[in-house]
Amino acid sequence: MNNLNSIFQLRSVLLQMERDIGLDELSAIEKDILLAAHSLTANKNDVVASQQIRCHALVEAMAPASFHRALRSLLEQGFLERAGDSKAKSYVVRSDLINR
C-alpha cells in the first residue's frame, strides 16, 4: 500500500506542476509529445525531427494517427513551430510560451 501512496503523491505533485506552468489543458498525448520533444533538445531553438519524437519512449507505442493529430494540435496552439530553414517535419519547442 505504501507504493500506491507514493505514486499518488507523485501524481498529485505532477498535476499541480502542470497547472502551474499551463500544461493542464493539454491532453495526455499532447503532453507526452511536448515533453519528448523538449527532452530531445539541449538548447533553446534546437530543431527536433518528427521521427526523433516518434521514437522517444514516451510516444513510441502511440498510434500514428493519434501522434499526428496531437502534433498538429501542438503546432496550432503554438507549443511547437515548424523549423525555419530545416526540412519538413522538423520542429522547435516554444518553451518560452510556457508559464514558468
Give residue 91's domain range: 26-97
Residue 63: which residues within 8 A CB-CB, separation 6 or more? Answer: none
pTM of the model: 0.87
Does residue 41 lie within any of the structural domains? yes
Does residue 14 lie within any of the structural domains? no
Does residue 20 lie within any of the structural domains? no
Does residue 60 lie within any of the structural domains? yes
- Number of Cβ atoms within 10 Å of the Cβ of 62: 18
pLDDT digits (tens, 9 = 90+) for 3-62: 999 999 999 999 999 999 889 999 999 999 999 999 999 888 899 999 999 999 999 999
Does residue 7 lie within any of the structural domains? no
Cα separation, 84 vs 41, in Å, equals 16
Does residue 1 lie within any of the structural domains? no
At 63, which CATH number?
A: 1.10.10.10
Q: Is 8 helix (H, G, I), strand (E, B) or coil?
A: helix
Cα separation, 96 vs 92, in Å, equals 11
Does residue 78 lie within any of the structural domains? yes
Number of domains in the chain: 1
The pLDDT value recorded for residue 84 is 83
